[in-house]
Structures are given as C-alpha cells and as structure tokens.
Structure 1
C-alpha cells in the first residue's frame, strides 16, 4: 500500500517594487539583485517583481495574493510636490511612475495588514504617505553628517560598508531584534525633515536624523530603514535579522490568508 505524497509547504509571496527605467529606448521595470536575494535567501519567501505602473496594479488582487511587500531604494527622488515643497530641479532623477504606483497602492496594503519593509526611498515613501516631509540635501544642513555614499570609484560593495552608528529606541520593532545600537551604511542625500503622523521613531543617527521608524498602531510588521540591509546579508547580523523577522511575519500572513481561503464543507 503506497503512502500519500508529502505536500510541499508553499512559500509566502513577497512583492518587490520596481523602478521605471528606459532600456534600449523602451520603457522597462528594474530592481537590483540584492533585494531579490535577501527576500529569497533570508526572508525565505518567493520574490515577485511588481511593476511601477499604476494602471497595471489591482489592489484587491494583490491583497488576496501577497504576504508582504518590499519598498526598495532607488536613485530616483519622490516628487517634492507630494509633500508640499517646491519642485526639484529639472535635472534631478525622479520616477513619477513609481510615485503613482506606490502612493496609490500603499494605503490599501496597510489597511489589509500586509507586512511592509521600506528601504531608503521606500522609507521616504512611507514618511511622505503619512504627511511627513523630506530634507532634500541633508549634508548641507548645519550639524548634520554627510550621509552620501562617497567616492564612486570604489568597488560597489565598499559603498555599503558601515558609515555610522545608530541609536535604537527601546521598546520598538528594531530593539526587539537588534538591542540598543548598531552600525549601518549610508547612501542617501535626502532624509526625514518632519516625521509623518502615526510613525514611531525606531532609530536615529548620531546627528539626530531619523534612520528607522515603524507604524505605531499597525498590528503587522511595518518597518522602514534609511540604510541598505539588502546588501549586507552575508556579513551583518542586523541585516539578516531584519529580513528574517520580515519573512517570519510574511509566513504568518500566508498561514492566516490560506486558512481563510479554504472552503468549508457541511458536516
């Protein structure tokens, strides 16, 4: 008598937002490989690249399908008009397609309890979504560190070396996985000017700049960091812990979501 086949446990599905780019004069969507690797190898999830195209996104379908989303870093800047500031200079790298996709989708995902991990631009998107503002040149402000990546002639991996310490606020998401302090990399010229409503500071830089926050009243994992943990999953305990905890939260959502979708039969 043959035994029943062992059912493979399916992975949680995690969307990774892309950037809209031009590729050989064609519109295309792009994401750096570090995010895919971190979601797959450390979070233990199935990465799914989400095009930065608002017209191609159906929030209800994604809510029924996704177990998490990563809002990636990017060379592009959020349009300053979205937080009530004067427009950025014309030569500034911007991505209005991503702006439209992210700001159109995020409120529904948050309300539906989808776990969210925001990184660099994603950190700034979550701040702006909640009514916060951005300082467009942190390095030019009195008393601030220069948070930019520095010499571009260095090998790419060196761009992601630790740049400064952070102070982790007790009692938050980050303190639960990282303790009171850590060292992080720094590759940004913009930063939080005013923190959005309902956001809880999780960590600050030595100059006081907000480096991480969470949604204060969200039941789901919702963490945003200004640095780049996706590029340090091989040698940084904090980077691994962030993606591991995010993956755990996504796994819990998958279990809940699939239980709710199973048909019930009368006794």
Structure 2
C-alpha cells in the first residue's frame, strides 16, 4: 500500500542566478520519508499553479519548511521596513490560508522556522523583524561560516511547558536545539499556545489550542539529523502517525455514488 503523502512547501529559487525553480531542502524530504514514513512531495509555493483547495485533497499532511524570505509584514498589519528582509508573497498566499484550512479540517500540519512563523501569522499573530536587535536577546541566526554540521549544531536549550504536549512528546522538561532564524514571535496569534522558550525568552515551540488535528511547530530546524536526534525523531514520528491516521480516515469514508 502506498504511503500517505506529505506536501512539503517549496521556496522560490534561482539556479545560477537566472533559472527560476521551486526548491526544497533534501533533509526535509529525508525526514518525512525515513522518520515520518510518508511519501514527500514538493509543493510549488504559488497558488496560481496549485490552489490550496487542490492541495488539501492531494496531500494528507503538510510540512511548512524554513526559507530565507520572510512573511510580509502586511500579513500582520505592519509596514515593511529594511529590517524585515526579503519576501515571497506567493508563498504567503499559499501557506497562510493552508494553515487555516488545516486547522479547521483537522489535517496535520507542522511548521519549521519560517513555517513556525507562518502558523503564528495565519492565526492572527505578529513577528519581530530581527530578534538579535531586541534588548536581552541572543543572536539566533545561522553562523555565517563553517560546515553544515557546524551551522546546524545544537546551540541552546529550550524550556518546555511542564505537562504540555511537547514535554510529553520529548519526555524531558528541557531539550537542546539548533537555531538558525532572524525573526520570531512578537504577539502570539489567537489560539496559539507557546510551549517552549529559549533562555532569552524567545518562543520556540507552539501548538494551536483546541485544533482537532496535529498543529505542532518549532522555531528550530529538527529536519537536521532527524533520524538520530532524540528531539527531532519523536517530533517527526508523531507527525507521521498523525498523517497516517488522517489518510486511514480518508480511505474509510464511503465513496460518493452518482444517481
């Protein structure tokens, strides 16, 4: 039997600075295939090519990945400034309504880094343009030099809400994570429950309150070494189980017959 399908949202990319492409990190697909036990499918971040309504029927769950462009501040009622960086309005147009639809339907969705921020904005929250500029905050950005192993190395602890979903899933009150982001949650959206914090108070783990399906999202990058990392593995396994459950439920629905 075919594995359930996880749509992995892509990022706009120029190959050799000239050829437009929809790109996705290999480690995202590997985490979905090997740890979540689902079939990864790269989704174009352009609603003109594949409307959200179609994606919801084609895919059983969605992974909202990290990406260099940021959510446009107009999406949370603020004006654009140089500090907000670059944008991908087409991805905004896919990801934000997709999150809201998944929450409503109970369809599994997991956000990573930018995806974490998309979930917050989709639920009515806002973002700081640059965390490291705030008093008392650390620099959460990816180190500019070094190997991939060095850039994705564990860098700080995340304190988890005692008795919360992440605490139960990870089996520990604190976990070690990497950190490769510039922006972060300013105001949590409606129904956004923060369940994890960096030492400087930056939100790191969220869920959507009273959502009928899987809505866990993290600010760090669990796709790195997901098969071996004790924090990443249970997260992708739980997401995969939720996707399998959704697919099984969908297959169990009676077929519609025409008169």
Mapped pair 1:165 → 2:157:
yes
The answer to whether the Cα contact below 8 Å between 2:84 and 2:129 also exists between their aligned partners in 1 is no
What secondary structure does 2:145 align onto? coil
Aligned to 1:225: 218
The answer to whether the Cα contact below 8 Å between 2:96 and 2:121 also exists between their aligned partners in 1 is no
Larger radius of gyration: 1
Structure 1 stretches lacking a partner, 5+ long: 1-8
- Matched residue SS, 2:216: strand
1:21 aligns with 2:16: no
Is there any run of 5+ residues in structure 2 with no aligned partner, and where? none
Query: What is the TM-score of this pair, normalised by structure 1?
Result: 0.90
Pairing 1:89-238 to 2, within 5 Å after superposition: 89=82, 92-150=85-143, 152-178=144-170, 179-238=172-231
Tell me which of 72, 75, 78 is aligned to 2:65: 72
TM-score, normalised to structure 2, is 0.93
The Cα offsets for residues 24-68 of structure 1, whole Å up to 9 and x where unpaired, read as 523320111010000000000000111001112233333233211
* Partners of 1:59 and 1:109 within 8 A in 2: no
Q: CA deviation at 1:93?
A: 2.4
Deviations 1:200-225 (A, max 9, x none): 11111111111010001112111110
Does the 8 Å CA contact 2:84/2:130 hold for their aligned counterparts? no
C-alpha contact 2:154 2:179 (8 A) present in aligned 1: yes
Q: 1:87-116, CA deviations, whole angstroms, 9 ceiling, x for partnerless residues?
A: 032993221111112123332222221101
* Number of aligned residue pairs: 255
Tell me the C-alpha RMSD between the 2 structures: 1.7
Kept after mapping to 2: 8 A contact 1:54/1:104: no
Q: Secondary structure at the residue paired with 2:220?
A: coil
The runs of at least 4 consecutive aligned structure 1 residues that moved more than 6 Å come to none
